Amino acid sequence: MPSHPIAPKHPHTITQHGQTRVDNYFWLRERENPQTMEYLRAEDDYQQEMTGHTLALQETLFKEMKARIKEDDTSAPEKLDDYFYYSRTQAGQQYPIFCRKYRSLDAAEEILLDQNALAEGRSFCRLGAYQISPDHTKLAYSVDEDGSEKCVLYVKDLAENRLLSEKIINTSGDVYDHTGIAWASDNQTLYYVTLDPSLRPDKLYRHHLGQDPANDQLLYHEADEQFFLFVSKSRSQAYIMAFSYAYAAGEWRILPADQPDADFTLFQPRQRGMEYFIEHHGQHFFVRTNLEAQNFRLMKAPIHATGLENWQEIIPHRAETLLEDMQTFENHLVLYERRDGLRQIRISGADGLSQARNISFPEPVYTYYQSGNPEFDSRLLRFYYTSLVTPKSVIDFDMEKDAWQVVKQDEIPSGYDPTLFTCERQFATAEDGTRVPISLLYKKGLPRNGQNPALLYGYGSYGFSQEPAFNASRLSLVERGFVFAIAHIRGGSEMGRAWYENGKMLNKRNTFTDFIACAEHLIGEGYTSTPKLAIMGRSAGGLLVGAAMTMRPDLFGAVIAAVPFVDVVNTMSDPSIPLTTMEYDQWGNPDDREYFDYLMSYSPYDKLRATEYPDILISTGLNDPRVAYWEPAKFTAKLRELNTSDKLILLKTNFEAGHAGASGRYDYLKEVAFEYAFLIDRLADPNP
């Protein structure tokens, strides 16, 4: 076996609360140090050498996954005013092409933006913001060119099919839902947010088209380092809304969209522990808040008197139902809720009370995802329905007729028969007796003899719930006899807000022990066994699997820790790192001795010890602004130093991407194929 890289030790002494610890690999933070890149390259060369025998399997998996996607495809068009907007993909091209048609789907196609053209000459290209002007004549969009999530903002004149002079750097564009820009009603004024040196969105600007960005007016600076600043537009299109967000508080400012040069007014001052979210409708705002309501309740406030003293309750707090989100329409109010671990949709009249009812879903275990629903005056609610066995379906629900229409369902060109698979929900019992849901997917008739390879996936942070959704690539594991399981552990919100609260701060260890309980349940019920059980998580999910592995290295056969947040104490002690200050309300501030001791009790980097560890694949992105590359690199180096087994320890670095990995759809599939080849190679028969 080739010898693995050995990172040099450069002792770095850290003293906190009277405790001194030595970090031999702290130097890996020095990106400009030639030794750092030398080590990362050596690790990447080593992982390529150690996985070289799986190249044929990777190619097989990639071809399987590629065959399951419709390469020439078109999204379900979405109507807004006189236009139908959609995107499409072409075989062989990595990125979507954004288009529209005027008044009729039979009209000529107008290409608004071809992301493939934007990506020419680049190994990475992800859209940040993407916003059409109210009169549909202009497109404001931003591009993240290296995975750092620092976006460059452009404006395109759609009538003349040319870029305007605007080029605004260092903007915050949400690369996940393409928000981050708002247009005023005059179609000439834009609002955008820029980033501070730690990549925190903190300054809101107003820009008039044609104006030198250096002269743009600063409207608001969010000085509190625990808050991130966002800008959006109300669904009614009547207000520009600036949102200062921290995990334990929020604060909104509003400006009439038809008064672009007016000042923003404060909606309700922030209060520690009080979260609130607003949406405009007519002469009032709806307010979703946790004020005296752990699972949130619905209030409303007059548009000219928005302070807390004027809020009126519409729907009270419900112990069994978490109110997650809302969308206003001209004649309807839609509430997105969660009950008994499953997502619900509540529809009512515009008052939030009349004709209230829930949409019925066809499967016992399922989920949905919200759509933007850009048209305010519409009777159709669009959302995306899916389950572990049902491909994503675009649903248009007629809110007046209560009629469900499947507009489009993802096709599996290579063939797919859902009746060949079993989807079920089980419950594990945690250390404290709590019942923890597990969603399972496997081939029908699979024996429970403990010999099946299994992949247990989890996240369990920030209140984000892991949804039981379809994933076509996952079939490459399940068809080879894998059991796929999702652990719905505390730290998410699957079972309500308390589920989240009991998995954060000084309750964070519940997340990891819940996950371990789920693993033990799968083994105890005969689905798999320790040598056949793999665990996987990304980002905070990487912390999850890192913590589970350091607590119970004897329990798992393999681990995939993707962009893992594993150097918890050092990161949370450094406010110069992006996200740190905002996340004190998730993990705790180690300047406080109680939180320092608690973080030290589970921080994977600090809990590594000399013992036998399972096979582990660790990945990172060199430009990652959320979990810096050095956390996975340091973890790998220390793990190599202390591991007493002969199992594989691999670090894969994407030198041209950030937190989300590859931006192109084929490149992304190749990353998944690499991970799955690792699992199959370590746990299973490579032939299905």
Residue 165 CA from chain centroid, whole number? 33
Nearest CA to 475 out of 420, 537, 536, 394 is that of 420
Catalytic site residue from 144, 615, 624, 681? 624
Q: Is 10 a catalytic residue?
A: no
The answer to whether 209 and 227 are in contact (CB under 8 A) is no
Q: How far apart are CA 320 and CA 339, in angstroms?
A: 6
Give the burial class of 573: count Cβ atoms within 10 A of its Cβ; 0-12 exposed, 13-18 middle, 19 or more buried: middle
Nearest CA to 291 out of 321, 316, 310, 267 is that of 316
Extended strands (E) in 411-450: 421-429, 435-443
What DSSP line would sit under 98-126, residue for residue?
A: EEEEESSTTSPPEEEEEHHHHTTT-S--E
Q: How far apart are CA 247 and CA 181, in angstroms?
A: 22
CA distances from 624 to 198, 213, 618, 632, 653 (A): 12, 27, 14, 11, 11
Which pair of structure tokens corresponds to residue 598?
A: 């608690």
Nearest CA to 393 out of 410, 414, 369, 412 is that of 410
DSSP, res 611: B
Q: How far apart are CA 416 and CA 256, in angstroms?
A: 50
Q: Containing H/E element for 37?
A: helix 34-50
Nearest CA to 249 out of 552, 489, 584 is that of 584
Q: Kindly give the pairing relationship between strand 276-281 and strand 284-289.
A: antiparallel
What DSSP line would sit under 266-303, residue for residue?
A: ESS---TT--EEEEEETTEEEEEE-TT-TT-EEEEEET
Q: How far apart are CA 60 and CA 479, in angstroms?
A: 13
The answer to whether 591 and 652 are in contact (CB under 8 A) is no
Catalytic site residue from 539, 603, 619, 663? 539
Q: Is 244 a catalytic residue?
A: no
Q: Is 539 a catalytic residue?
A: yes
Q: How far apart are CA 49 and CA 2, in angstroms?
A: 8
Nearest CA to 282 out of 313, 318, 336, 238 is that of 238
Residue 60 CA from chain centroid, whole number? 28
Nearest CA to 4 out of 636, 676, 678 is that of 636
Q: How far apart are CA 220 and CA 203, in angstroms?
A: 6
Interacting residues of 415 by C-beta distance below 8 A, sequence separation 6+: none
Catalytic site residue from 207, 284, 317, 659? 659
> How long, in residues, is the chain?
688
Supply the residues annotated as catalytic: 539, 624, 659
